[in-house]
Amino acid sequence: MGPIGQYSNFFKVGHSAFEFVLDFGQSYSEDQAEQYHTRIIISPFYARILVKLLRDSINKHEHNFGPIPYNNEIK
What does the domain layout of the chain look like in residue ranges? 10-65
For the stretch 22-58, pLDDT in tens is 999 999 888 888 899 999 999 999 999 999 999 999 9
Mean pLDDT, residues 57-68 taken together: 96
Residue 11 has pLDDT above 80, yes or no: yes
- In DSSP terms, which residues pair with 39 in a beta bridge? 23
Burial of residue 14 (number of CB atoms within 10 Å: 0-12, 13-18, 19+): exposed
